[in-house]
Amino acid sequence: MPSIHPIPLLLTNHHQTTGFYHSDRPLTQQALARTLSYSLVPTLPRSTLHRFLRAFWITIGRDFHSLDRLRLDKYLFLIRCYVGVAFEVLLKPQSTTTTSTNGGKRKREEEPTSSKRNKKNNNKNKKQQQQQQTQQQSEESTTSTEPQDWTALESYINIIEEGPLCPLNFDPDQPPMNEKADYVPMPHGPDGLRYHVMDVWIDELEKVLEFEEIEGAEEGQQTKKIKGGVPMELLLRPIEKLKKESGYKPVRVRAAETLDDERLVEWGVKERKVVEESSDEEWDGFD
């Protein structure tokens, strides 16, 4: 399959965000945001997925300052959807059952109506078998101990570190745009985009991760265990970099607040900080 160059993908994302700009009414905006993210991104081939996501973050980072106050909320929801769908695609294992069921539907549509009527009972049995197979595959995926390849996830995290969660606002060493080489530089930030991505990062992770309850856990300790060997250090790496390397104090403070989320303690990713009580005696004034 021929690869799609980044400049046409930028035009595609530009047209999508422009059409989203003119959508009105909250329900219409939310439905369109889910369509542009959860309905579109999972259908992309792996060879195009990272290019498309990079083009999206280039478009958002470039045009974020030009968004007016009245239309900002719907774009923040679109950004949340893209953060969530990227986690959903890159953290959950791909199942072959969806493609097989879709192919079966297309074949059944091509068959004559008379054969459909004769195969109603068989279709019911096939559906039950497919449901059992999907349950078995999901159980095997959660219980399997084989190490999973996270190179695709790491490539996406590199895109995030280069773009919205980059510690720098301006990188003098970044090469300029080169149309011959199909290279488009990634905008860094801006801070408003950084804040929002950090705000929704843990929320969208929680929707995708699968947990196992730990019995007998006390309050303030780990109560859940993450299934699947998900590399949480890799997922939190962009925020750790912002906390250490950002030259802007409010960004470092917001990154520290994100890493101090109570859910990370419940999942066993972080340890609860022990606040030492000050032993200074009260000042009674001068004698």
pLDDT at 210: 93
- Separation between Cα atoms, residue 238 and residue 198, nearest integer Å: 10
Q: Where are the alpha helices (DSSP H) in 119-272?
A: 120-143, 151-162, 191-208, 232-245, 249-259, 262-266
Q: Please give the single-letter amino acid code of residue 18.
A: T
Does residue 263 fall inside a structural domain? Answer: no
Does residue 170 fall inside a structural domain? Answer: yes
Contacts of 121 (CB under 8 A, 6+ apart): none
Does residue 43 fall inside a structural domain? Answer: yes
Is 225 a residue whose pLDDT tops 70?
yes
Question: Residue 108: pLDDT band by 50, 70, 90 thresholds?
Answer: very low
pLDDT at 122: 61
The answer to whether the peptide bond before residue 164 is cis (omega within 30 degrees of 0) is no
What separation in angstroms does the CA of 198 have from each of 41, 73, 208?
A: 21, 16, 16
Q: Which residue has the tokens 């007016």?
A: 68
Helices then strands, counting H and E runs in the chain, come out as 12, 2
Does residue 187 fall inside a structural domain? Answer: yes
pLDDT at 180: 73
What average pLDDT does this structure show over 130-154? 63
Is 82 a residue whose pLDDT tops 80?
yes
- Residue 64 Rama label (left phi>0; alpha psi -120 to 50; beta): alpha
- Token pair for 276: 């030492």
Q: What domain range is 192 assigned to?
A: 6-94+146-209
Burial 247-273 (b: 16+ CB within 10 A, else e): eeeebbebbeebbebeebbbbbbbeee
Of 13-17, 52-56, 129-133, 233-237, the range with the lowest mean pLDDT is: 129-133
Report whether 167 contacts 184 (CB < 8 A): no
Query: What radius of gyration, in Å, describes the C-alpha atoms of the chain?
Result: 24
- pTM for this predicted structure: 0.74
- Token pair for 262: 């109570």
Question: How many distinct structural domains can be found in the chain?
Answer: 1
- Separation between Cα atoms, residue 187 and residue 196, nearest integer Å: 16
- Sign of the CA dihedral with 55 first, then 51, 19, and 25 last: negative
Report whether 41 contacts 82 (CB < 8 A): yes
- Tell me, rounded to whole angstroms, the distance of Cα 3 from its chain centroid: 23
Helix axes 191-208, 232-245, angle to 10 degrees: 160
If we measure between CA atoms, which residue out of 171, 236, 168, 165 comes closest to residue 194?
165
CA angle 252, 256, 258 (to 5 degrees): 120
- Separation between Cα atoms, residue 161 and residue 271, nearest integer Å: 25
Does residue 20 fall inside a structural domain? Answer: yes
Does residue 151 fall inside a structural domain? Answer: yes
Helix or strand (DSSP H, E) at 37: helix 26-37
Bigger pLDDT: 101 vs 247: 247
What average pLDDT does this structure show over 186-207? 94
Which residues share a beta bridge with 213? 224
Does residue 114 fall inside a structural domain? Answer: no
Does residue 11 fall inside a structural domain? Answer: yes
If we measure between CA atoms, which residue out of 149, 171, 170, 153 comes closest to residue 237?
153
